Every structure is written in structure tokens, then in C-alpha cells.
Structure 1
Amino acid sequence: MNEQISDQQINAAGHLTIGGCDAVDLAHRFGTPLVVYDVQQIRNQIRAFKQVFEENSVDYAVSYASKAFSAIAMYQVVAAEGAHVDVVSGGELYTAIKAGFPMANVSFHGNNKSREELEMAIDHHVGTIMIDNFHEIELLADVLEEHDAHVDVMLRITPGISAHTNKYIQTGQVDSKFGFDLQSGQADEALTKVLENPRMQMKGLHAHIGSQIFELAGFEGVAKKLVEVAAHWQEKFNYQAAVINVGGGFGIRYVKDDTPLAPEEFVAAIIKAIKTEIKETNLAMPAIWIEPGRSIAGPAGYNLYTVGSRKDVPGLKPYVTVDGGMGDNIRPALYEAQYETVLANNPRAELVEHVRVAGKYCESGDILSQNQALPATKPGDVLAMLDTGAYGYSMASNYNRNPRPAVVFAEKGTAQVVIKRETYDDLIHLDEPYQQ
């Protein structure tokens, strides 16, 4: 029996429900593959983060890392909950603009922002630019001069802390493409350059050590390191950091063997660590910012698939093929990420076999699950893959010229399409015929 589905998510028909909506009905109404979000779950996690800060009487910002899932509707929900967002591209920024998101509550990240992206940010009065490298300091200085503008900035540093996570999603170690190195003096040099520019208001410092982290030690370590840097900057440059931003990366439960803390417990530990370190300095207590993405979007998302063909080979694990795959969730192929899948019309059905849930894409590596326990299935059954809300749709592709799925928001028993399913015409609308 799947432990990630509560009894409250099973309706009178015995079907899985998402946001109060019958998952089988959603699949039939909107087609599959389909991405469905439980909107109340998104709201609840944002509120849980905010509550921890408020109980600890700390100035804060909960900034949703929108690379996990970016859409107009998502930005609208985040805005309604009074949270901030961080964006990492002109496209994410444009989407937030179209959503009417308060630009003062937007942070713009990225290790190679273009002039055009910075101009868009300045023209729309983005709240904070997270400066990542020396080239960006010069580029931003030029843009601010040309636009006769000012902007708040923060410096991203690499704290020299390697999180215990997949090597592709570690970002805080010294050998990283992100941020200013501490040991070599890069961070001090960057601070000097920013403080010399009257158009840049230095707001604080930022670090991000990785993603899908289960252990407190990394976050406690980065909190301590950032306070040490802030104290050093005050002593050497007479600069007082108003904000310490510890990033995100709080791990979530994907499969039974995952045992992360509740995301808000990570935050409580970070607050405690920063408060403890601050007492050892002459610093005033700064605001603490966090940037959770996966922990907000991930558990709220579900991918619904329809079962198609099956392949049985004696002595080998069967293949049960669905109508989606690496085009809507590349993480299993890219990271060997694991998920759990249930039969939507009977999540409590007796498990009778272990199968490989295969995708429809023309790649041998297109396997969504290598060892999934399932009841007996047949063509036409609907499978629900759990906890797919982060980095599924946002990394989706049109590989094999397959359209990307629709995205539905479900809340209080009502479902609405927030991203339409692509059509074949959508796939070719940018194509131009070859002129011979």
C-alpha cells in the first residue's frame, strides 16, 4: 500500500483524488498525459514556511524558486500567498510580468544574464538582481547608466560546502559555475566593485548549496558561513548586510525509502543557526530569505498516464508502457530519479507484480520507473505518478515531435486548465519551408 496517499485522497468510488477532483475523471476530461497540481497543497507549504519565521520573530522572505515550475497561474497563486519569486531567465521574468506579479518581490538569478534580460529587469523594476560574476557587475553597471536607474543587488557566493546530493545538482562547492569564490578573495573584490557603484544598492549575500538535500548539516554550515562573511564584510568594509539568503534545496519524499525532514524543519534549523552565530558578532539580526522550489511544487504535482502496450519476456521484469515518458518527465532518464506510481482507479488494490513503467519515446532509456509494484493493469487504465510537480513540466520537451501535456490546477473539487495541451500545429508553427 502506498504511504504517500492518505485515506482522505480516496473517494467513495475508490479512486485517487487530487485537489478534491477524481483523477480518473480528470484523465478522461482533459486527456493524458496530464500534469495535475493540488493547489491547496502549494498554498499550505508556503504558509508552513511563513509560520516558522513568524513564530521565531524573524524578518524574512519566502521566495519560490520558479524554475521548479513556471506558469502564469503558478505565479498568481504564489502572489496570493504573499510570497516572493526568483526567476532565472528572461522567459520566467516575462511570465511573471504577464501574471501581474509584484516586481518588487522578484529576484533575478543566473550565471550568464544577457544585456537584454537585464534591461527587461531594470525596465520592469525587478526588486533584486542576484549578481553572479564580474562580467555581470560590468554589464549591469552599463545598463543602469544607460537607463538612468538604480537597483538592489545581492552577491552570490560559493561557500565551499558540497551537499550530499546528485552531483548535477550540487552548487555550493568551490568548483562550481555559480557565484564568487571566498578563499581566493573574489567575493571581497566583488563587494568592493558594487559598493563603488552608486547605482547599485548592496542588499546582502546569497548562497545555494544544492537540491534534494536531506541533511541539516549542509544548511547549518552555510548559515554559519554566511554570517562569518557578513561579519568579515562589516569589519573590513564597514558594510552591514540587511539580508542573508540561504537559498533552497530542501529534500522531499519521492519513494518509500526517502526520509527527509519536513521542509519547514530545515528552516527552523537555519534560523536557529543564524541567530546563534549572530550572537557571536556585532551584527544586527538580518532578514533571512529562503528560496524553496521543489518542496513547494513537487509534492503538489501528479502525472496521469494511460496504459498502452505491454511486453513480457520470461525471466525478465515486464514493461508496462504509458502514453508519456521522458518528454514530460526527463528526470528518471537524466538523474535516475525515482518516483512511485499507483493505479488511479484503485490506489489500494493488491500489488501483484513489479514492472518497468516505460515511456513511448524512441529511446531505450525512456523508463519512468525501473521497479514499480503495481496491481494487474490493462490497456486503458490510468496510472498516477506521484510528486512530479518540480522539474517535470519545466524540463519537458518536444522530443520525437510529441506535444507537451496540458497542466491542470485542482482545488476544492474544481479543475481548470492553466496550460493548454500542445497540438501538432503548435509543434510546427515556428518551422519555415526550405527555399531551394
Structure 2
Amino acid sequence: MTSTEAEPPTDATQRVIQVLIRGTVTPVSRELFTTLLDNSVAGTYKGYGDAIRTGHITLSQLKFLAERGDIPYSLFFAPLPLVQRQVATKTEKLLAGLSRDTFSIGSRARVELRDVELIVKDLIRKQQLVKKHDPTLVRNSIVGSLPGKRHSPDSDATQLMTALGLSADTIGATRTKEQALELLITHLEANQVLVSRSVQHYMPQRLTHVHFSGMTIRDNKVPFIFLAGGDHADDQEPVGRTVFTLALMSVLVARKIFAPMTWDGGSVETEPGYEYDVAGAMLMPADRFRTVAPTSLDDMKRASDRFKVTASAVTVRASRLGMISGTTARRYLDELRDEFRALPKGGPRSPILPENAVRKYNGRELTVRMLRALDASSISQGDFCRAVCLNHLKPSQIDDLRSAVQ
């Protein structure tokens, strides 16, 4: 090995990443390298992990990571204090749309910002992008529409559902919980509340080690709701849980609460709070709920199909309305958890088509608006694929995306 070839890291070189430039090694501060890439989408790329592990990287690989992370290449050779100031300023601006506190309902779980930071940054970039390219956007009427606790949960639930153009009967009339979820998303997005759903491998950050429900991201025109999906560790049927989660997060937007959110949908151990009761009243209005009058565990299961939520959510609602005791509710919830755990787990899922994955993560509304911007030549195909699709689609696949949102 010659003196100009990259060598494995030793104790003396742990503080730098060796960049191989035309046969010559140029050291870059490891702290500077990680500061730039840990705060970008490129920090999730294999090339970054390889560089950290081996202590060296080629110039072409470095440029690739810089491009993917939207990082000016020259910053890798700038003074560390300058880089730290720029990253801190950019992060402060980007995270202005999200509280660092976790909004928790009946849950001890908390979300560390670093676990979701890259997704937050990407969704905020998308908010900025659609506002830049779509002059038809207006101030959002849902944000802040339920300030303070002026009315009863049922009254506020009716107000919010009316603003969304929905009713519990309309949701209940859908054939499946999947259709109920899509209906709720459609009405939120029709009111400029964008909805993004977790799609592993199509987001800038993996969530395999994070248990949380999602997050709401501030904007006066296009607030985002991100649904985490996946395993919430509370042993509930997932689609019905997501329907309730989305209703709850729409309440947070209306209350101007923008934060990561965790909630335990199968607990009556702690006071769930006002927002939870409003969401419950949106999907299970007290008058209709009392007419159904669920009291037995089988009643809870039948009512869950009627209201398009989980049997656990019905149980908690019955307890909140005083129709069953807390002791009975806890027993039912324990039985429901045991039943769910005993269900056979499904096998490998069919791979999702790239265009469907991009549509699901971005949300249909943002995708449609950015396609209009593309057609108006407000954004180039290359920038569309990079900023909207995170390079998961090539220009030749844009028509596939069009079909996916029709």
C-alpha cells in the first residue's frame, strides 16, 4: 500500500475521515463529517455508514452523499465552527414547525426528536415546496379552529366534523375500516391538512425502533399529519387504531398542538384528556353510542365495526361515558390484548410499487399539487424526482405516479 492510498483508521486517525482525491488522501474532520451528514437524509445511506466504519471515502462517494443530502460540497472543507453554526441555524428554522415535547395520552412513551428529525425536516421542506409552487393555497381554516376548552367535547367534535364536511354516520356507512380511513384522509386533505403515512424504505429515516403514533407539523396553510403506522406495542387491530389516531391528530391540529404524539389506545389507567374525548366524540357521538349501548365484550366488538375503530377504543369510550365501570373496562382490554396476541401473524407482505409508496408517504394532495407545478414548468423533472420523490422515482416513472393519484 502506497502512502497516497486510504488506510484503515487507527487511533491516530479516528478523528478524521480520509477523502481519496485523485490518489491523494485529504483528511476531513470526523466531527464535521458527521455534523453535516447526521443532519441530512444522506446520513441514512450505506456510503455514510461505510465511511464511519472504515474511516475513508472516495471523492465521488462524498459528492454523491452531498448531493443526496442537499449539502454544499464545499462545506466538507470549511471550518468546523462555521459548519456547526450553519447546521444549527438551518435546524432551528426547520424545526420551528414542531415542539420538542411529546404529546402523550395514557402513555409513558416519549419520542426523541432525533428518532424522527429527518422525517420532520423532509415534511417541512415539502410544506415549503408546495407553498412556493402553488399560488392557490389559502390560510388553513382547520388550524386553531378549536382554541381553548370553550365547549363540551361533543360540541367541539361536531364543530370540527362540520368543518371537515364529515359526520360519524358518513364514516360509519363505509364498508370497511380501510375505507373509513381513506375517507377521513380525503376530507382532511380537501381542507389543506396534508396526511403522510409511514412507508419503510421510502422515507429519509427508518422507524423500526420507535413506538409512537405520529406527529403534527405546524403551518398556517398546509399543516402535516404524519401517521407512524406499524407496531405501537399496545396489541390492537391496526386499521381501526389508525382511524382513531387520525381523528385525534386532527383535533391536535385544530387545537394548534404540533408535536410527536404517543397514546395507549388500550388503557384506562390514566386520564386521557380533553383531546382524546373530542376524538372519541367525532367517531362515536354520545347520543348514537348510548343508543347502541355496548356493555358486553361482544357488544364492544360489534360496535367497533359500526364505528370503524378498535374494540379497545369502544371499551374506553364506554368507560368514559360511565356505561361500564373502570374495572370492567380493564378486564375487557386485557382480554382484547390476549386475543390479539393469539392471532396468527401474517406472512411476508407483497412489495409495494414505488409510485404507490411515494404517493402514500407524500400524501395524495401534495403529490397532485406538485404534479400540477411540474406540468406548469414551475419545477423541473429532476427537481421533482429529488425533492418530491426523494429519488425513489426516475423521470420516466412520473406517469406511473400520475396513475397512482387518479
TM-score scaled by structure 1? 0.22
Higher relative contact order (CA 8 A, sep 6+): 1
Higher helix share: 2
TM-score scaled by structure 2? 0.24
Higher strand share: 1
